Chain A
Amino acid sequence: MFTSTAFLSILPETLILILGVILLVVEPFWKVKDPASGGDEQRRNAGWLTAGGLLAVLVVSILVGRPGDPTSTFGGSIRFDWLGFFFKMLFVFGAGITALLLMDHEKVGRRGEAYVLLLASTIGMCLMASAADLVMLYLAIETTSIPLYVLAGFMLTDERSTEAGFKYLLFGAMVSAIMLYGFSLLYGFTGTTNLYALADAFKAGQLAAPVLFGLIILVVVGLGFKVSVVPFHFWAPDVYEGAPTPISGFLSTASKAAGFAVIARLFLVVFHGVTVDWATVFAILSAVTMTVGNLLALPQKNLKRMLAYSSIAHAGYAMIGIVAVSKLGIASVVFYLLAYIVTNLAAFGIVMTVGRVTGSDEYDAYRGLSRRSPWLALVMLAAFLSLAGMPPFGGFIAKVLVFAAGIQANYIWLVIIGILNSIVGLYYYLNVLKYVYLFRMEKEDEEAHPIAVTRPYVIALVVLVLGIILLGTVFAPWFGFSNAAAMNLF
């Protein structure tokens, strides 16, 4: 049963695992005995190894691990197709950038365990994207979540970080139990755990609508938590604010995208064509999520909290594509997540870079940033305008695509809510830029306080900004990939 296709289908996961083992083995040798004398470069090694290793994983996977026609491997528990592959590459990319951003986080980035946990979580995400079996899916979700609980609470001496880790764990454990209950009912009613067999079972004989509806709600609770849609979003702002900034970035991008990958596969494969109108459920969730996320983002004065609420709102926008239940809909979700991952990582990258120097994430810490560090301000401008959906940045194309899919599916009311929300969004993103470009520091001596950007951050931010601009201008190839991924579900 262990064919070369089977091997290729888990190639990225295998390579990440090898990377993790190497990291565990060599990391102790790099430990600096006396922190006072230790050079920075030496202690950053674990981070460079992780980031470089993930780049290698990305390149090797793209070169040799591309899927052909969709096939099932490992007894049907893994689906080897473009949808899974595309998301895996996204997660690897996101993890690599996160490793770069972690590197100069003094409390987290100088410890090898953080990177190993990051890699473990990435493996889980990759499996989430390609799991085709309920058991596999559940294991993958837990593999993703547990390391993230630890990472969120990694700063043991910091109260807020501990709170974040604990809160995330409690919420996560609860909803995962609910979701597991849903899975067990699915198995109980149909006698199979394979997603594609489940789909056939649903086609053959319909369950009673109330039962099915209850099942779907149980599953939606679990996945809604992962992608932080309202009303399962309560954890997000506190966790994002307390967790180490690069981890918040990772949580709000890769982890969220993994949730969407599962939603897309589960609902378009298993529940496609059942009598229960789950699209309307998602439409309502989407509308509520966008509105609540954006309205709560308005009064924030802490950038990390604001980004947390804005990332809730973005889950709502992306969900419009799921609601559309069409090829373009799924392609637009995939494109949206791609653009969103790149953009939001850039936003968190800036929070990390500035927070390191100023020691604060409040808006006031961003006063006079354009005078302190004009290039950093421009990166921030690009990232925030892309989040707001302005061209020539990726966020604009992504928004237009999901809105187009929504209109095609005749959900005009939802699109109008989306549009009203994007106006609210524009307001609070511009509000932050006002601090950056207009307001000045107390003594108006910004030039004397430049913000030092260390090398890993330069690399990460340059890659991300180029990504934002490429996604927004030369969007044809990216849309082509998204479309190829979406085709696998129909």
Chain B
Amino acid sequence: MTFPVLSVIVFTPLVAALIILMIPAQRKTEVRGVALAAATFALLLSLWVYIQYLTQHLTGYQFVEKYDWLPMLGISLHFGVDGISAPLVLLTGVVMFTGVLISWGDNNPHVMAGIQDRPREFFAFLFILASGVFGVFASLDLFMLFFFYEIAVFPMYLLIVIWGWIQTREYAAMKLTLYLFIGSVVALVGALAMYWVAGQNTGIYTFDMLQLEKAGFSASFQNLWFLPVFFGFAVLGGIWPFHNWSPDGHVAAPTAVSMFHAGVLMKLGAFAALRVGIMLLPEGAKHWSWVIMLCAGVAVVYGAFIAFVQTDLKYMIGFSSVSHMGLVMLGLSTLDKNGLTGAGVQMFSHGVMTALFFAVTGMIYDRSHTRQIPELGGMNKVMPFAAIGFIIGGLVSMGMPGFSGFIAEFPIFLGVWQSQWLVAVIASISIIITAAYIMMNIRKVFFGKMPEKLEGHMTDVTVLDKVAITTLCVLMIGIGIFPSVMVPMVQTGVQHILTLLGGA
């Protein structure tokens, strides 16, 4: 029997969370140590899976494990990754690792950095969330996908409401949780309908997505259920007009949770929308692709414009996430090779980039106690390392060649151009706006003169912060310079989707 690497990845954070809860509350250093060890372990395993998939030129679902869970209803614990989910598993590992590093905190309660209040509960909830995220990316069973999806959603409430920004946390946490819960249960109804109809069609009642792909749903069924299922999940992907929870949630969340939220959770929505919506209901996807393209197109441009006028650094990043996730959705809506590949890479690229943005913002906020852009300035003098990280993230965000953003966005626009050139033209406005607000804010925050009241209060970032920034930057530049480490792999996953969509 081979090593069940995916279940180990999925359950490592969960086990770590239980171990962390067993540690007495006042032993904060031990709590952080266990958290870091578990995160490193999960990162190494997900990296190993990624490298195996890449170097052995694998295609289709790999590292498959299947255990019957409730055979009577056809539920099984079925894990496996393909060219699209393997990068996302790696992304989760990276964000988890860096998230622990920047939440490290200090035993001196007067130092404002990382998580000081109840770190035991913080890491336990964060890791339960991480388990859910890994589970969704690795699940090949529809029931288990929902199971892990919900596990990934509810700790957000606690993480935001307990450790979040005091002014908006109650409102934002409740709004976020209700939005996501509504979305997921709507999608759940669609999934249950699929289960029964597939059972009637084939005689096999199963939640196994590989079986459901072949269930042969009628066109009218697919047209009926595609929108509820797709949008149910896409709410978490921040699709317009259901994006409203997202910037509020980003702003209210503590740094590591913002990283998880924008970096990974939003990908969870897009990924589940792809896997359950487009892959299981391909005819419905073709029928309704114009709706997705419309909503995504609006999200891309509208998100960029709103980000442009923000004065709060986190709101700026939050709306830029809406805009960038709009690009992912735009790629999905093309239903062709270029668009889907771009969407796959963009999920990874944006995840790393936005995690970096939030990490640096958190570092600035911990020291200056403000995120208002006009109240900041000259940060590169005290924290040059963070400034460099933020600039690299900005370049990725703008889609500069040589960085991962370009590798992702170029094929998306290529795909959109082929299907609707007008949408591509309009969406490309966002690139200009993005470049404008990113450069403007980099200038205001990191250069120029430091406001007097911050003078002397600012200190450089810690070594752990630097490790986190470096990890994220290396990934973005690496993919930008060597696209072959990711693009062909995503293409193998896309190939399978194209087969499901028929032809091409």
A contact residues vs B (CB 8 Å cutoff): 370-371, 374, 378, 381, 385, 390-392, 396, 400, 403-404, 407-408, 412, 415-416, 419, 422-423, 426-427, 430, 433-434, 437-438, 475-476, 479-480, 483
In the complex, the answer to whether A390 meets B69 with C-beta atoms within 8 Å is no
- List, in ascending order, chain A residues with CB within 8 A of B147's CB: 391-392, 396
Flag if A392 contacts B151 (CB, 8 Å): yes
CA distance A392 to B118 in the complex (A): 23
Given A407-B196, A408-B196, A437-B161: A416 in contact with B189 (beta carbons within 8 A): yes
| CB-based contact B174/A427 at 8 Å | yes
Which residues 131-173 of B have a CB within 8 angstroms of A? Answer: 143, 146-148, 150-151, 154, 157-158, 161-162, 169-170
Name 25 A/B residue pairs within 8 A (Cβ), A-sorted. A370-B121, A374-B25, A374-B121, A385-B154, A391-B146, A391-B147, A391-B148, A391-B151, A392-B151, A400-B143, A400-B188, A403-B189, A416-B189, A422-B181, A423-B178, A426-B177, A426-B178, A430-B174, A437-B161, A438-B162, A438-B170, A475-B69, A475-B70, A476-B70, A476-B72
Contacting residues, chain B, for A385 (C-beta < 8 A): 154
CB distance from B72 to the nearest CB of A (A): 6
For residue B101, give the distance in angstroms from its CB to the closest CB of chain A.
Answer: 25
Q: Which residues of the partner chain B approach A408 to less than 8 Å between Cβ atoms?
A: 196
Contacting pair B182 A412 (CB below 8 A): no
CB distance from A348 to the nearest CB of B (A): 22
Which residues on B sit within 8 Å (CB–CB) of A412? 189, 193
What 1/0 mask marks residues of chain B from 174 to 186 whose CB sits below 8 Å from any chain A CB?
Answer: 1001100110011
Query: What's the nearest-Cβ distance from chain B to residue A380, in Å?
Result: 12
Chain B residues lying within 8 Å of A391, measured Cβ to Cβ, are 146-148, 150-151
B70 contacts A415, C-beta separation under 8 Å:
no
Known: A392-B151, A404-B195, A437-B162. A476 touches B188 (CB 8 A): no
Query: Contacts of B73 on A, CB cut-off 8 Å?
Result: 404, 479
When distances are taken between beta carbons in the complex, the residues of chain A under 8 Å from B25 are 374
Known: A391-B151, A419-B185, A438-B161. A430 touches B72 (CB 8 A): no
Given the complex, which residues of A lie within 8 Å of B154, measured CB to CB?
385, 390
Cross-chain contact A422 with B192 (CB below 8 angstroms):
no
**CB-based nearest B residue for A371:** B118
Interface residue? B21 (CB, 8 A):
yes
State A188–B456 Cα separation when bound (angstroms): 93
B: number of interface residues (CB 8 Å): 37
The answer to whether B502 has its CB under 8 Å from any CB of chain A is: no
Q: Which of B22-47 contact A (CB under 8 A)?
A: 25
How many Å lie between the Cα of A34 and that of B177 in the bound state?
55
Residues of chain A lying within 8 A (CB to CB) of residue B69: 475-476
Q: Please, how many angstroms separate the alpha-carbon atoms of A408 and B197 in the complex?
A: 9
- Produce 1/0 per residue, B58-75, CB < 8 A to A: 000000000011111100
Contact of A430 among B146, B148, B157, B188 (CB under 8 A): B157
Nearest Cβ on chain B to A324's Cβ, whole angstroms: 12
Q: Measured between alpha carbons, how far is A370 from B151 in the docked complex, in Å?
A: 21
Given the interface contacts A391-B151, A404-B192, A437-B161, does A423 sit within 8 Å of B185 by beta carbon? yes
CA distance A70 to B68 in the complex (A): 30
If A423-B185, A437-B158, A438-B162 touch, whether A480 touches B193 (CB-CB below 8 Å) is no
Q: Which residues of the other chain, B, contact A427 by a CB distance below 8 angstroms?
A: 174, 178
Bound complex: CA A483 to CA B68 (Å): 17
Q: How far is the CA of A55 from the CA of B394 in the complex (A)?
A: 64
Map CB proximity to A onto B105-144 as digits: 1 under 8 Å, 0 otherwise: 0000000000000101100000000000000000000010
Task: List 20 additional A-B contacts (Cβ < 8 Å) besides A419-B185, A437-B162, A476-B71.
Answer: A374-B25, A391-B151, A392-B151, A396-B150, A400-B143, A404-B195, A404-B196, A408-B196, A415-B189, A416-B189, A419-B189, A423-B178, A423-B181, A423-B185, A430-B157, A433-B158, A434-B161, A438-B170, A475-B69, A479-B72
